[in-house]
Amino acid sequence: MNRAAAVALTLALAFFYLPIAVLSLFSFNSSALMAFPLQGFTLDWYRELAGNAAFRSGFLTSFLISQPVGMLSALIGLLAALALTAPRLRGRVVFIALLVIPFLVPKTVLSISQAMLLSWAGLGRGAAALIAAQTLVAIPFTTTIIAAVLVRLDPRLEEAARDLGATPWQTFRRVTFPQIRGAVGAAYSIGVILSLADLTISMFLAGRTQPLSLIVASEFRRELKPDLNAMQVVVLCLTALIVFIGELLRRRRRTPVPAPL
């Protein structure tokens, strides 16, 4: 890497991480005024956050919504990745194009179209609509993650299993799946993180359901308080924990040994 590329990378990383560092710093500032110089160290904003019933309710709502989103997006992404990497798949280019389109459509347009479709389907607004809409948005990500691992598998292992009399389900369960468990876990983590971070879809489909992102946006419009900084630090730490656990599981299962037939 030449010096210009290193400088550009350093500036990009600083642009991305410096606001997070400043936000974390102010979450421990004893003054309610978010300005330098800092007045001292305190954990009062975290105590105030723990006692805020609205934040607790919003976090619980977001957590309960993110779990089915993570599981459904990982399951559907697995099925889509298996179809996408099948050697005899027809219309592979069309399939890939349909998979990429959600990346290109503006989030607002996608949210409005989902709201109209789900309303027509009878889901209306609420937790069920949020789970369905967020799952649809997460599927392209989860499919890409799992397919990237599937294409690197040795097809001779599956052929050997079939030659030994294994059914397609036995081949998948005992040969293929042990090799992609880490990718499926990563896909689940991505689905959960995307659900927790979502704001645009929630604005159109939440209804009376109040996930944490909507509560934070509402509080931010009225007043930027230090306990909001503390809340963002907590969410960042939880997100980092999810990523860390997913990566730990991936490393532990990086070289799995297929179970005997």
3-state secondary structure of 219: helix
Q: 42 and 107 in contact (C-beta within 8 Å)?
A: no
3-state secondary structure of 29: strand
- List CB contacts of 178: < 8 A, sequence separation 6 or more: 253, 256, 257, 258, 259
pTM of the entire predicted model = 0.78
Q: 10 Å Cβ neighbour count for 14?
A: 11
- List CB contacts of 70: < 8 A, sequence separation 6 or more: 138, 188, 189, 190, 191, 192, 195
pLDDT digits (tens, 9 = 90+) for 73-105: 999 999 999 888 887 777 777 877 777 777 778
pLDDT digits (tens, 9 = 90+) for 99-152: 777 777 887 888 888 888 887 877 778 888 889 888 988 998 999 899 988 888
Q: Quick one: CATH architecture of 52-252?
A: Orthogonal Bundle (1.10)
Domain residues of the chain, as ranges?
1-42, 52-252
